[in-house]
């Protein structure tokens, strides 16, 4: 039984999803959960992309101890120098250097010949080895590269010291049989490939990222790259939870497994969804809300008689629980803290105190408190550092024959307050126009979503907004039993992110 190593790129490739911008503190929180999940390697970011990205990589490198922390870099010395600076405090560090190899990339993007690409690849790996014992080389768009030339590149970078070679399907073009054949051919043509990790990295443009990744495993790949929930550029990347469950459930066929702690999958999926604002579809495999639901009478009857008639995965195996009602207004701080640990949080005492105070307020508004309530509540309290604005109050005047009018009071970082009012086409529109006036920011609302966190008339409402200002696109999240208050909180938080990130370089992305 082979063990397949997992390389998670949620914090880098996943963040390249349009509209996703994860703060440093949020990246650390996700990384710690990925460590708990058992991920072998975590790509914390692209250190050379911006000062913010370099800071995020450095913070993740300081906090995570059991997983190898990786930074992406182009085949450029300055990129590799910045990656080294960001990773120098990591307990286990690795560099991921990439260079495109396909004819279309050589001609139109790089304007380089085969010989120049080969020379640059070897130079990059040789330079990286000065800093790192572990170096991964990715032949960007490898799947559309001539197999003879790809074999040449793979052989050359292994000789230069690469310990992992990644063969990405950067544009999601391959079929499973074609992609698997590339790995079979490389193992045959490059004998040295047996002594290193051979990695697959698949995009989902044609909906085959997971199938292609599994085909690569069948053909001898020893590492799978992907993201939680399959997020990423365009149609996204291979969903790691799907790959892991396919290998676990069909060990009889693949003869391979991972070292992931599968019971952490649900928690990891929910955390990534909340912090990125990318909602998991109900019919998503493994982690969707309907993944273990049975509505058909025939299916229900079968499951009641014998669960395996219609269920090949038990919900408990990936961390879903049936009993979610655990805490109430009489619960103490100690029980609350233990529940946070059970849910996977890593909070300082001051943060526990802040979350507990908010929990008690929620208990006065809601009769029953579930795990989902606590997850949503605590995630909204995870904002660290001083924010430019905080919502103190929102008032709304609305009637079906009157013009909606909203007034807001915001607190600035220095403690001073600003109040503004505005009319709008609806309640949310008037609130947002008032906030625009109060902050003095000119932004465009690109997306607005409301979700119910739990059930019942007193359910928590979770609001996601996506704002754009120039080249910056950010998300904000708010939670409250009042969806209008949640809407205001989400909008203010998104504006705070714009103020925080304004002036930073736009991150560079690859496939």
Report CA dihedral (9, 10, 16, 19) to the nearest 10 degrees. Answer: 180
- Flag whether 471 is marked binding: no
Q: Confirm or deny that 201 is annotated as ligand binding.
A: yes
Q: Give the β-pairing of 41-45 and 5-8.
A: parallel
Residue 221: alpha-carbon gap to chain centroid: 23
Per-residue model confidence as pLDDT tens digits over 116-170 = 999 999 999 999 999 999 999 999 999 999 999 999 999 999 999 999 999 999 9
29-50 pLDDT, tens per residue?
999 999 999 999 999 999 999 9
Counting Cβ atoms within 10 Å, is residue 19 exposed (0-12), middle (13-18) or buried (19+)?
middle
Residue 297 burial (10 A CB sphere; 0-12, 13-18, 19+): exposed
Tell me if the pTM is above 0.85: no
Mean pLDDT of 196-224: 98
Mean pLDDT of 223-247: 97
pLDDT band at 402 (very low <50, low <70, confident <90, very high): confident
Q: pLDDT digit string (tens) for 57-70?
A: 999 999 999 999 99
11 pLDDT above the threshold of 70: yes
Contact (CB, 8 A) for 268 and 31 = no
Range of lowest pLDDT (8-22, 24-38, 209-223, 235-249)? 8-22
CA atoms within 13 A on the CB side of 337: 11
Cβ atoms of 167 and 200 closer than 8 Å: yes
pLDDT > 50? residue 214: yes
Cβ neighbours of residue 139 closer than 8 Å, sequence gap 6 or more: 98, 99, 100, 101, 121, 145, 150, 153, 154, 165, 166, 167, 168
Main-chain phi, psi angles of 229, to 5 degrees:
65, 5
- Could you give the residue ranges of the DSSP H alpha helices within 306-410? 333-342, 349-365, 371-380
* Residue 331: pLDDT band with limits 50, 70, 90: confident
Give the C-alpha separation, 55 to 68, whole Å.
17
The pLDDT value given to residue 491: 96
CA distance 374 to 344: 12
Residue 473 parent element (H or E): strand 472-480
CB 224 within 8 A of CB 243: yes
451 or 13: which leads in pLDDT? 13
Q: How many helices (H) and strands (E) does the chain have?
A: 17, 18
Backbone dihedral angles phi then psi of residue 276, each to the nearest 5 degrees: -100, -20
pLDDT at 505 over 80: no
- Whether the CA torsion 235, 240, 246, 252 is positive or negative: it is positive
- pLDDT averaged over every residue in the chain: 89
- Over residues 106-118, mean pLDDT: 97
Q: Taking 60 as the threshold, does the pLDDT of residue 509 lie above it?
A: no
More confident residue, 396 or 461: 396
Q: What are the CA-CA distances from residue 38 to residues 206, 227, 265 (Å)?
A: 29, 14, 10
∠ CA 53-54-57, rounded to 5°: 85
Q: Cβ distance 507 to 474 under 8 Å?
A: no
474 CB-near residues (< 8 Å, 6+ apart): 19, 21, 466, 467, 494, 497, 498, 501
Range scoring the smallest mean pLDDT among 93-102, 221-230, 371-380, 418-427: 371-380
Sign of CA dihedral 30, 31, 34, 35: negative
In this predicted model, what pLDDT tens digit does every residue of 305-321 receive, in sequence order?
Answer: 777 777 788 888 888 86
Containing 33, the helix (H) or strand (E) segment is helix 24-37
Instruction: Quote the CA–CA distance of 373 and 360 in Å, as a whole number.
Output: 12
User: H-type helices in 465-504, by residue range?
Assistant: 483-501
Query: Of 182-186, 277-281, 460-464, where does the model show the most confidence?
Result: 182-186
Pairwise CA distance, residues 326 & 346, whole Å = 20
Give dist(CA 258, CA 185) in Å, integer: 24
Provide the pLDDT for residue 299: 59
Q: What is the mean pLDDT of residues 352-361?
A: 84
334 is in an annotated binding site: no
- Tell whether 21 is in a known binding site: no
If pLDDT is split at 50, 70 and 90, which confidence band does 212 have? very high
């Amino acid at each position: 039984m082979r063990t397949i190593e997992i390389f998670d790129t949620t914090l880098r490739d996943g963040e390249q999803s349009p509209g996703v911008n994860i703060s440093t503190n949020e990246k650390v929180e996700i990384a710690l959960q990925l460590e708990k999940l058992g991920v072998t390697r975590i790509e914390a970011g692209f250190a050379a992309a911006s000062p913010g990205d370099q800071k995020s990589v450095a913070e993740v490198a300081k906090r995570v101890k059991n997983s190898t922390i990786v930074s992406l870099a182009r085949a450029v010395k300055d990129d590799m120098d910045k990656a080294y600076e960001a990773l120098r405090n990591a307990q286990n560090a690795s560099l991921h250097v990439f260079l495109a190899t396909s004819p279309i990339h050589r001609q139109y993007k790089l304007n380089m010949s085969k010989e120049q690409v080969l020379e640059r690849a070897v130079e990059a790996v040789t330079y990286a080895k000065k800093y790192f014992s572990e170096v991964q080389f990715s032949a960007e768009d490898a799947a559309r590269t001539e197999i003879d030339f790809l074999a040449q590149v793979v052989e050359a970078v292994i000789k230069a010291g690469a310990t992992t070679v990644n063969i990405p399907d950067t544009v999601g073009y391959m079929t499973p049989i074609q992609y698997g054949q590339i790995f079979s051919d490389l193992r045959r043509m490059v004998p040295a490939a047996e002594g290193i990790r051979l990695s697959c990295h698949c995009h989902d443009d044609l909906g085959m990222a997971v199938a292609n990744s599994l085909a690569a495993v069948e053909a001898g790949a020893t590492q799978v790259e992907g993201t939680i929930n399959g997020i990423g550029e365009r149609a996204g990347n291979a969903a790691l939870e799907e790959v892991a469950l396919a290998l676990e459930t069909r060990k009889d066929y693949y003869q391979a497994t991972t070292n992931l702690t599968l019971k952490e999958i649900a928690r990891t999926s929910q955390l990534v969804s909340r912090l990125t604002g990318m909602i998991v579809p109900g019919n998503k495999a493994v982690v969707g809300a309907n993944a273990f639901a049975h509505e058909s009478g025939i299916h229900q009857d079968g499951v009641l008689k014998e669960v395996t008639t219609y269920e090949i995965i038990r919900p408990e195996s990936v961390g879903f629980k049936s009993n979610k009602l655990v805490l109430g207004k009489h619960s103490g701080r100690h029980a609350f803290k233990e529940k946070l640990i059970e849910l996977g949080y890593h909070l300082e005492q001051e943060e526990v105190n802040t979350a507990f105070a908010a929990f008690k307020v929620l208990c006065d508004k809601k009769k029953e408190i579930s795990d989902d309530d606590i997850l949503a509540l605590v995630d909204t309290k995870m904002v660290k550092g001083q924010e430019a604005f905080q919502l103190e109050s929102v008032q709304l005047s609305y009637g079906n024959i009157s013009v909606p009018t909203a007034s807001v009071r915001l607190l600035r970082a220095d403690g001073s307050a600003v109040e503004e009012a505005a009319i709008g086409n609806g309640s949310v529109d008037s609130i947002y126009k008032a906030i625009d006036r109060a902050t003095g920011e000119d932004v465009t609302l690109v997306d607005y979503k409301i979700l119910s966190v739990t059930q019942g008339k007193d359910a928590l409402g979770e609001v996601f907004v996506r704002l754009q200002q120039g080249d910056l696109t950010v998300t904000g999240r708010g939670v409250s039993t009042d969806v209008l208050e949640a809407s205001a909180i989400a909008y203010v938080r998104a504006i705070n992110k714009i103020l925080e990130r304004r002036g930073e370089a736009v991150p560079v992305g690859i496939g």
